[in-house]
Amino acid sequence: MGIELSARVDAVPPSGIRKFFELAEERDDVISLGVGEPDFATPWRARTAAIDSLERGRTSYTANRGMLELREAISDHVEREYDLEYSADEEILVTAGASEAVDLAFRAFVDPGDTVAVAEPAYVSYAPGVTFAGGEVLGVPTRERDEFRLTREALEASGASDAEVLVLCFPNNPTGATMREEHLEPVAAFAREHDLTVISDEIYAALQYEHDHTSIATLPGMRERTVVVNGFSKAYAMTGLRLGYVMGPSEAVMGMNRIHQYAMLSAPTTAQYAALEALESCDDAVDEMVAAYDRRRNFLLSRFDDIGMDCFRAKGAFYAFPEVPGERTGDEFAEALLKEEGVAVVPGSVFGDGGDGHLRVSYATGMQALREATDRIERFVAEH
């Protein structure tokens, strides 16, 4: 009777985002604060570099690991920006989006039955990725009272000491939480003591508004047990170009490359040319986007304050994570808000248990839409 899905695939439910996407598509006056990608177009210089590469016929595979020139540019970039030192030769792998890098990490480091601790609420792809790799997910809650930072106490209380792998993502999707060095150190100590491999998804590293980014891989004793995932999607507004990269000790990166060379061969060539140009000439464009996000963040948090929605001061990515006002669950609130006022937000429960009772509100949208949307939310909250 037809094709039977594997148990691994069968075990993973469809994304909870889907339901809200379909509801939002039903009407055409929706203002969406539910979008997880920049509203800016890719900086023009990066786009022209992609066009030029096509005109010159640069449409073949590249080296599995990505073009050497691009890996060298990444190596320089992460050293300059984040004090991360990785050689272009064997410690950097260019992937089809950071998503591929995360998936490769699970498949390369997780054996069937291994436990993977995931700081939750979390980006929706981690748990399915662990399941596809045959691992077991262990959710480690982050809490609003800690501004959604991962704590050593939560790791201990969840039993993460028995895990093989720890996944963290700061700045965080969906909470907008960030972690400074002093907050990362206890987590690093825990990882060292319990011999955890750390997958640090730092795709939002460039989008922080109150302090600089610290990578957990820069802490003592962490480089050898950490792979750092980053990419071009968020900082350079290049989501559709699908380009990310992962950095780590050579044996880890070469292990991931072993999967990548069979499954992907190489990341999209056109996107690699765009990324190279982005690193070489688009810093000013990134600065302008960061400044615009920061203005919107201030605006949004100030409006939540007026409306009476409790919201911790998110310092990174482009999300705020307010509490659901009143008695409704996040799902009920988000669905009613969408139906009655045409504003789409994503209920926190989509991002795991810890997200319940919150809403992910994206400010990757223009000021005019943000103003109108917050006016509608204010009216909705007043009427309920």
Instruction: Return d(Cα 313, Cα 364) in angstroms, integer.
Output: 17
According to DSSP, residue 279 is labeled: H
Site string for another protein, 346-365 (x = CB under 8 A): x-------------------
* Residue 370 · residue 295 · CB < 8 Å: no
Closest distance to another protein from the beta carbon of 24 (Å): 4
CB atoms within 10 A of CB 42: 24
Q: What would the two tokens of residue 239 be? A: 């989501």
Asked if residues 142 and 148 have their Cβ atoms less than 8 Å apart, the reply is: yes
Q: How far is CA 360 from CA 89, 218, 317, 321, 338, in A?
A: 39, 30, 12, 5, 14
Element (H, E) at 39: none
Interface stretch with another protein, choices 13-21, 79-87, 103-111, 182-190 (CB under 8 A): 13-21
User: Mask of contacts with another protein, 194-233, x by CB under 8 A?
Assistant: ----------------------------------------
Among 17, 254, 290, 381, binds another protein (CB under 8 A): 17
Contact positions with another protein (CB under 8 A) in 144-173: 173
Residues 26-55 touching another protein, rule: CB under 8 A, are 30, 32, 34-37, 39, 41
C-alpha 15/C-alpha 38 separation (Å) is 21
First vs last Cα of the chain: how many Å apart?
A: 50
Q: Which residues in the 297-316 window bind another protein by CB under 8 A?
A: 298-299, 302-303
Site for another protein (CB under 8 A): which residue of 8, 9, 11, 15? 15
Which lies closer to another protein via its Cβ, residue 36 or residue 268?
Answer: 36
The token duo for 196 is: 């955890």
Q: Which amino acid is at 379?
A: R
If one asks whether residue 25 binds another protein (CB under 8 A), the answer comes out as yes
225/64 Cα distance (integer angstroms)? 23
Tokens of 225: 């047990």
Q: Which is nearer to another protein, 357 or 366 (CB)?
A: 366
**Is residue 336 a contact point for another protein (CB under 8 A)?**
no
Residue among 15 and 48 whose Cβ is closer to another protein: 15
* From candidates 242, 296, 315, 358, binder to another protein by CB under 8 A: 296
The residue within the footprint of another protein, chosen from 124, 177, 184, 235 (CB under 8 A), is 124
Phi then psi dihedrals of residue 118, to 5 deg: -125, 120
| Site size toward another protein, by CB under 8 A | 30
CB of 366 to another protein, least distance (A): 9
Which residues, other chains included, contact 322 with Cβ-Cβ below 8 Å and sequence gap of 6+? 304, 309, 310, 311, 358, 359, 361
Q: Verify binding: residue 371, another protein, rule CB under 8 A.
A: yes
Q: Which of 125, 250, 261, 329 binds another protein (CB under 8 A)?
A: 125
- Residue ranges binding another protein (CB under 8 A): 15, 17, 20-21, 24-25, 30, 32, 34-37, 39, 41, 123-125, 173, 291-292, 295-296, 298-299, 302-303, 344, 346, 367, 371
